[in-house]
């Protein structure tokens, strides 16, 4: 097993430079917001694209005030392996991929597209560059907003929050019904909302240089609505350490020890490791995978007797499928099954 540096707790500082993919034609006007959907990404075989050429983040020439149009849409979606793998990239590298400029809404659209795409089988979520997966909400933008009147009670606060959450996509599986497998490729800092985004994925692969934290307590922002499921992922003690002490950071080794990270990879091998998981998912029976994921997510909250009945109902919907014939036949014939999700 690979040894990783011992973990430590410190605020995020000493950030490095970004390297992102630049692509294709210069004669197409840039799209500055929303989701870019294209057939392939740099570093992926058989890349074909008609996207305009955008700039790669360079700290010597770009800063936080650089227009988003310099880097392209706030979310990129690369559909590879004949559309079976969606690579979803948060693309605000000049602001450490912080949530702003409509990025949350664009991610919602990307997840809905993945869910409803009959060809799509697995998705990878990552951040542009090598500084950050996602640094959470863009607080510099938030600081410029006019102060809202204080809510008088929790019900009013919840109603106000829900009114602005038409495209709020968390929890990803239960709220949007995304039962296909998802992978987070955590390439750098995953802080606050960025950590929450990574929590939504089924598999988490971390770069050796990545760090995670929940900084809300430092700025009078609550993480209460997603701290509860965090206790189920890493246990109460570590969850309290991350949330109550907002300057706490866990490195990749600590996350691996807690079972939150499935794999840790050198920075240059992060996406290859995530793609290994994605390619393995392509060999699995699609409906069986969706059924088992739904059983585990929903069953986690169920009484064991109810959970057993729910799981049995999910198993029953495999009956009569062509794939239910193909799987055992392929096993008997010692070949790879050709599943069609039918």
Q: What is the pLDDT of residue 42?
A: 38
What is the predicted pLDDT for the residue at 20?
35
Structural tokens at position 169: 């996509």
Instruction: Please report, rounded to a whole number, the percentage of residues in the chain having pLDDT higher than 70.
Output: 76
Between 231 and 151, name the one with better pLDDT.
231
Q: What is the C-alpha to C-alpha distance for residues 80 and 100, in angstroms, rounded to an integer? A: 27
CA angle 95/171/191 to nearest 5° reads 30
Return mean pLDDT, the chain. 82
List the one residue out of 189, 207, 212, 211 whose CA is nearest residue 270.
207
68/335: higher pLDDT: 335
- Indicate whether 25 pLDDT > 50: no
Phi, psi of 183 (to 5 degrees): -130, 130
Q: Would the pLDDT of 284 be above 70?
A: yes
DSSP alpha helix (H) spans, the chain: 103-116, 139-143, 154-163, 172-176, 193-199, 224-234, 236-244, 252-257, 270-282, 286-299, 304-316, 322-332
- Confirm if 168 and 131 have CB atoms less than 8 A apart: no
Torsion sign over Cα 130, 263, 104, 75: positive
Q: Which residues of 295-334 are buried (b: 16+ CB within 10 A; e: fewer)?
A: beebbeeeeeeebeebbeebeeeeeebebeebbeeeeeee
Compute the average pLDDT of residues 111-136: 96
Provide the pLDDT confidence category of residue 240 given band limits of 50, 70 and 90.
very high
Among the residue ranges 138-142, 209-213, 314-318, the one predicted with the least confidence is 138-142
Residues 6+ apart with CB under 8 A from 274: 124, 126, 183, 185, 205
Taking the CB of residue 142, how many other CB atoms lie within 10 A of it? 13
What value does the CA radius of gyration of the chain take, rounded to a whole number of Å?
21
Helical packing angle, 304-316 and 286-299, nearest 10°: 170
pLDDT of residue 331: 95
- Of 29-33, 156-160, 246-250, 277-281, minimum mean pLDDT range: 29-33
More confident site: 168 or 209: 209
pLDDT of residue 59: 77
Return the DSSP state at 28. S
CA distance 34 to 72: 9
User: What whole-number distance in Å separates Cα of residue 11 and Cα of residue 193?
Assistant: 16
End-to-end CA distance of the chain: 40
Give the CATH number of domain 35-282; options: 3.40.30.10, 3.90.226.10, 1.20.140.10, 1.20.120.50.
3.90.226.10
All structural domains of the chain with their residue ranges: 35-282, 286-332
The model's pLDDT over 195-227, given as tens digits with 9 standing for 90+, comes to: 999 999 999 999 999 999 998 888 887 776 777
Query: How many Å apart are CA 158 and CA 154, to the nearest integer?
Result: 6
Give the residue with greater pLDDT, 88 vs 5: 88
Higher pLDDT pick, 67 / 196 = 196
Instruction: Kindly tell me if the per-residue pLDDT of 159 is higher than 80.
Output: no
- In CATH, the number for domain 286-332 is 1.10.12
Q: In what order do the strands lie in the sheet with 122-127?
A: 35-38, 75-80, 85-90, 122-127, 182-186, 203-207, 263-265
Place of tokens 């600590």: 254
pLDDT at 30 > cutoff 60? no
pLDDT beyond 50 at 103? yes
Tell me how far apart the alpha carbons of residues 91 and 56 are, in angstroms, rounded to a whole number: 11
């Amino acid at each position: 097993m690979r040894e990783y540096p011992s973990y430590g707790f410190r605020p995020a500082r000493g950030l490095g430079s970004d390297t992102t993919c630049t692509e294709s034609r210069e004669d197409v006007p840039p799209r500055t917001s929303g989701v870019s959907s294209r057939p392939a990404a740099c570093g992926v075989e058989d890349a074909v694209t008609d996207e305009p050429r955008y700039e790669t983040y360079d700290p010597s020439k770009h800063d936080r005030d650089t227009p988003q149009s310099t880097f392209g849409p706030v979310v990129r979606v690369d559909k590879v392996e004949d559309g079976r793998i969606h690579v979803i990239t948060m693309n605000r590298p000049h602001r450490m991929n912080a949530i702003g400029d409509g990025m949350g809404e664009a991610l919602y659209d990307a997840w809905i597209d993945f869910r409803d795409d009959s060809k799509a089988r697995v998705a990878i979520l990552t951040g542009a560059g090598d500084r950050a997966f996602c640094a959470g909400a863009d607080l510099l933008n938030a600081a410029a907003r006019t102060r809202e009147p204080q809510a008088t009670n929790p019900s009013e606060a919840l109603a106000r929050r829900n009114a602005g959450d038409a495209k709020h996509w968390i929890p990803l599986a239960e709220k949007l019904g995304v039962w296909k497998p998802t992978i987070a490729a955590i390439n750098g800092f995953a802080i606050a909302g960025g950590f929450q985004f990574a929590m939504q994925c089924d598999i988490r692969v971390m770069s050796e240089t990545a760090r995670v934290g929940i900084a809300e307590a430092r700025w009078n922002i609550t993480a209460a609505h997603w701290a509860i499921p965090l206790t189920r992922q890493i246990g109460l003690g570590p969850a309290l350490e991350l949330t109550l002490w907002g300057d706490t950071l866990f490195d990749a080794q600590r996350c691996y020890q807690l079972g939150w990270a499935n794999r840790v990879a050198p920075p240059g091998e992060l996406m290859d490791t995530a793609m290994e998981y994605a390619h393995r998912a392509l060999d699995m029976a699609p409906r069986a995978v969706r059924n088992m994921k739904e059983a585990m997510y929903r069953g986690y909250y169920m009484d064991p007797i109810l959970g057993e009945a729910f799981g049995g109902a999910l198993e029953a919907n495999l009956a009569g499928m062509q794939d239910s014939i193909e799987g055992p036949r392929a096993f008997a014939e010692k070949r790879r099954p050709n599943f069609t999700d039918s």
